[in-house]
């Protein structure tokens, strides 16, 4: 009993410290972004100094952020829906013994998780299909994910076969069964895939870097990445925008420093994920656990 209590105390203490170590960097970024840059540069620990929202107000005055945010939101919504639907219907097809070469197709799909042709062949394929400088380059290449298909397929195989048999006796086809019976029953794992796909689409920037030259199609993450790399340039641009907009009065002016710009940009990028993830977490855990058990 004494050993169990000692172990529990040490275990909880270690996990609590580890949790704080993981959360503190995000908290520090938030605190710094809410502090006056002139006083924050002297050092922060737990609490903001001279709380102000001018870091956010001035960063959000940069016009490119709004169009990039629209593209990122559009990409996240459309890309996530298409990924979830295509991966789900492909997983459903792979559960059917009637599919010719089903096992071979499934194994080839799994191989793609470990082996790829490389960046240059991938670039050539995208260019050949005419997806460069196209919004579709954000959607089509990620329409089906092998990892998502495995999760959903494993979950579907646990559903009672009698449900589909009863529907077939009533004259329903495979697509009707999938839409009206199988897919609704797969909501726990679908919610899990939804979180993965949404976070992946929202955070993605490399495809923009490789395939997009049209500034109208730049995503928020790519814009913020450029600003992070050129924070001094962004600070000067923000200050110029503030002066031209008439906000730079002696009472209101707050100088944005490169460090405060980096902190504010980082928070802008991660706030949407922080807002969405807590509501999806219970579905995420349930879907992973149910999909991991195969009877």
Look at residue 252 in the predicted model and tell me its pLDDT: 44
Scanning the structure block, which residue is given the tokens 């092998």? 146
Give me the sign of the Cα torsion angle 293, 284, 270, 75. positive
Q: Residue 293 pLDDT more than 60?
A: no
User: Which of 172-186, 204-218, 264-278 shows the lowest per-residue confidence on average (mean pLDDT)?
Assistant: 264-278
Residue 30 in this model has a pLDDT that exceeds 80: yes
- Report the pLDDT value the prediction gives residue 98, as an integer from 0 to 100: 86
Q: How does residue 145 score in pLDDT terms, banded at 50, 70 and 90?
A: very high
Residue 54 corresponds to which tokens in the numbers above?
A: 């001018």
Q: Would you state the pLDDT for residue 31?
A: 86
Q: With 50 as the cut, is the pLDDT of residue 250 above it?
A: no
Average pLDDT, the chain: 82
Element holding 141 (H helix, E strand): none
**Residue with more model confidence, 223 or 240:** 223
pLDDT band at 241 (very low <50, low <70, confident <90, very high): low
Q: What is the mean pLDDT of residues 161-183?
A: 87
Check pLDDT > 80 for residue 215.
Answer: yes
Fold of 34-291: MetI-like fold (1.10.3720)
Q: Is the pLDDT of residue 161 over 90?
A: no
C-alpha angle 277-201-79 in degrees, rounded to nearest 5: 110
Q: Give the tokens for residue 42.
A: 């002297």
**CA atoms 85, 90, 91, 96: torsion sign:** positive
Cβ atoms of residues 248 and 97 within 8 Å: no
Distance CA 235, CA 93 (A): 53
């Amino acid at each position: 009993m004494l050993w169990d209590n000692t172990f529990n105390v040490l275990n909880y203490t270690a996990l609590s410290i580890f949790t704080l170590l993981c959360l503190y960097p995000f908290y520090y970024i938030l605190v710094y972004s809410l502090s006056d840059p002139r006083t924050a540069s002297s050092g922060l620990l737990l609490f903001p100094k001279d709380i102000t929202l001018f870091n956010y107000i001035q960063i959000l005055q940069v016009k490119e952020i709004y169009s990039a945010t629209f593209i990122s939101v559009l990409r996240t919504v459309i890309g996530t829906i298409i990924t979830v639907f295509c991966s789900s219907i492909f997983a459903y097809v792979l559960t059917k013994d009637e599919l010719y070469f089903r096992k071979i197709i499934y194994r080839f799909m799994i191989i793609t998780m470990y082996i790829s042709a490389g960046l240059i062949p991938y670039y050539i394929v995208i260019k050949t299909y005419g997806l460069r400088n196209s919004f579709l380059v954000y959607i089509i290449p990620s329409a089906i994910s092998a990892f998502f298909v495995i999760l959903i397929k494993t979950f579907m195989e646990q559903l009672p076969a009698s449900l589909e048999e009863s529907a077939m006796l009533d004259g329903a086809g495979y697509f009707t069964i999938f839409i009206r019976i199988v897919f609704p029953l797969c909501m726990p794992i679908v919610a899990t895939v939804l979180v993965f796909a949404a976070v992946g689409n929202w955070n993605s920037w490399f495809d923009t870097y490789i395939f997009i030259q049209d500034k109208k199609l730049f995503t928020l993450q790519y814009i913020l990445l450029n600003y992070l790399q050129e924070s001094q340039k962004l600070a000067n641009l923000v200050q110029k925008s503030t002066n031209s907009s008439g906000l730079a009065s002696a009472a209101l002016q707050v100088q944005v420093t490169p460090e405060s710009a980096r902190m504010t940009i980082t928070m802008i990028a991660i706030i949407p994920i922080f807002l969405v993830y807590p509501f999806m977490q219970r579905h995420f855990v349930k879907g992973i656990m149910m999909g991991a058990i195969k009877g």
